[in-house]
Chain A
Amino acid sequence: MFEATKDFFENKKYQNPYLMKNKTKSFFFKLFRLLFIIGLSYLFLFPLLYMIVTAFQDPATANDPSVIWIPKKLSLAGVVNAWYCLRFSESATLTAIITLFGTGASVVSCAMVGYGFARFEFPLKNVIFILVILTIIVPTQTIIMSQYLNYWFFDFGGILKLIPGLKNVNLLNTAWVFVLPAIFATGLRNGLFIFIFRQFFSGQPKDLEEAARIDGCGPFKTFVRIMVPLAGPAFVTVILFSVVWHWNDYYNSAIYFTNDIKPVSCMLSNLSDALSMGSATMDGKVLFSRDTTRYAIRMYLMAGTMLSVLPPLLLYLFTQKFFTESIERTGLVG
């Protein structure tokens, strides 16, 4: 943003003694900025590093105060134990199903709705878009209680009752509680996704669509063949957000999942509660007892946390470059 200014100053043609004074000033500014960036990077990287270091510590040396960054002895005990307590293979499979289908459905439905708002004129358009904003603003906890009962005795607004012999189905503890609203563009933070897609599509030039229309392409074919391939950056942003939010979701999962196998975030919270009580048993086997030191507890907890953030972290590492670039090009806001 200050590029224009900077170019102006650095251009020899414009340099005069008055403007030269800015050079010392800009040196201090740069130094100041560098210090800030280092400090903030520390603040952002610290939890990650701390988590990884603590997770791989040996239980025997976990309470050694001289160990801050480099463990004296590495051990997988924490990770293995946390894997067992979180029932990671089962809970991660459940969370992966929720994330995969929830994200898939959200992306398809929100792209369609966003395109509808961006490219067509119809009466009361602005009023209807306020409804989208409303789904962002109204907090989940106001509707989650009646949603809980609705999913427990789900009949799709009375439609299922029309089929003889079928009264209602129980959707609690299934991935449907996330996927079903996502199909209808009202899933997890879908209002925001509709907003992002609308912003993106309305920023695209109309020429391509008009050309396609003239060549006899219908509106749906135009959308799928022309607009979707163009919307790469918007799709990357929405997919990454949606995957992360589905995977990390705690509030909805804690209410909709009542069985033993819950999404990873809930399992982690349960583990933390069990550890703070001082003891935990699972299937009759004592995992922690009152004499487990708080250092070991810390180790188990960090190992569990590491397992739970690993999938989104890996996804971020691989898509990071693509993601940061697309954020610039999506133009989230007007």
Chain B
Amino acid sequence: MKRKPMSLAARSAWTAQIFILPFYLGFWFFFLSPLIQSVRMSFSSVSVDTSTGYVLQNVGFDNYKTAFLEDANFTTNLLNSFAKMAWQVPVILVLSLFLALILNQKFHGRVFVRAVFFLPVIFASGIALSMISGDSIASTALSGGTVSGGEITQSSALKDMLVNAGFNDKIINIATSIANSLFSMVWRSGIQMIIFLAGLQSIPPTLYEASSIEGATSWENFWKITLPMLAPTIMINMVYTIVDTFTDSSNSIMRQITNLMTSQISKLGLASAFAWTYFLFIGLILLAVFGIFRLISKHTS
């Protein structure tokens, strides 16, 4: 039997499908179908019979009702994690951009400094960091306190300064908590720093040359060239940081979900309801971020 040979485009399209085939299968079996199932679980009560399998029984909106109306901690934890995100994401973004700008310059000993600055990428994802930062002496020494005679005295220089300057309590609390968590912020900006570094290197050097000949200073170059050219990179980093902050396993709400899951199988339905509520909020925030960046890019172009 003789077949009509396929066109080049059609053949290329079919070859591509073979390359991507693993992802199609994985997406269905390990992503989409568990996702659909977890929606069903959030509307059911789950029971397990070890010999045959698990059974889902529809209970309507009961799990969501429990989450919002009965559980004492859920709504507070939810709001807390949002408040935390609202100040952590900008701080991490600015810090990582700053680190990337330093690393992107040429200076002596740059190889060593790079090796040191990339260390967070190796540890930040692990439990090791929380062990070290959870160690009271280590974290006090880092946030500027002093260790004397085995007793820890928290440094309050910053606090005194702000009190004297006449700021109100709320601002002082925010400022001191930023200073105290600077350590974990710097350590969590590793991946973002790498992404920014790659973004910085993709900016054509001719732009800087042209503007310098016109008499622009480095400061002007930063605001007029570097920052606008980094807009897509900033968006990628923002999305990454938001997702990362939310799924951090030390997060109070993540901890609540994990505890619920590991305590009792029958609580899996409720845990799914928690997770979905949480995810929908994250989704809304991400959509807002995408929307804002689309507006900005429309405005500038």
Question: Is A316 in the interface zone, CB < 8 Å from B?
Answer: yes
**Cα of A113 to Cα of B127 in the assembled complex, Å:** 31
A53, chain B: closest CB distance, angstroms: 10
Tell whether, in the assembled complex, residue B198 and residue A333 are in contact, meaning their CB atoms are under 8 Å apart.
yes
Asked if B23 and A132 sit within 8 Å, CB to CB, the answer is yes
B5 within 8 A of A: no
Q: Which residues of B contact A323 (CB under 8 A)?
A: 118
A328 at the interface (CB under 8 A from B): yes
- Residue A214 is within 8 A (CB to CB) of chain B in the complex: no
B26 touches A121 (CB 8 A): no
The stretch of B72-80, B159-167, B243-251, B293-301 in contact with A is B243-251
Please tell me the number of chain B residues within 8 Å of chain A, measured between CB atoms.
Answer: 107
Using A143-B34, A145-B271 as known contacts, say yes or no to A138 and B125 having CB atoms under 8 A apart: no
The answer, yes or no, to whether A251 is at the interface (CB within 8 Å) is yes
Q: Which chain B residue lies CB-closest to A149?
A: B54
Chain B residues within 8 Å of A249, by CB: 125
Query: For residue A265, which residues in chain B have a CB less than 8 angstroms away from its CB?
Result: 126-127
Q: Tell me whether A194 is interfacial, beta carbon within 8 Å.
A: yes
Q: How far is the CB of B43 from chain A (nearest CB, A)?
A: 13
Q: Which A residues touch B87, using CB under 8 A?
A: none
Are A327 and B115 in contact, with the CB atoms below 8 A? Answer: no
- Residues of B with Cβ closer than 8 Å to A? 9, 12-13, 15-20, 22-23, 25-31, 33-35, 37-38, 41, 46, 48, 53-54, 99, 102, 104-107, 111, 113-123, 125-129, 131-135, 137-138, 141-142, 147-150, 183, 186-187, 194-195, 197-203, 205-206, 208-209, 212-213, 218, 221, 226, 232-233, 236, 239, 243, 246-247, 249, 254, 257-258, 261-262, 268, 271-272, 275-276, 278-279, 282, 286
Task: Report 20 cross-chain contacts, Cβ distance below 8 Å, ordered by A residue.
Answer: A1-B226, A3-B205, A4-B212, A45-B119, A63-B150, A131-B27, A138-B35, A139-B247, A139-B275, A146-B37, A153-B53, A153-B54, A156-B29, A194-B23, A244-B121, A301-B135, A305-B132, A308-B126, A313-B122, A316-B118
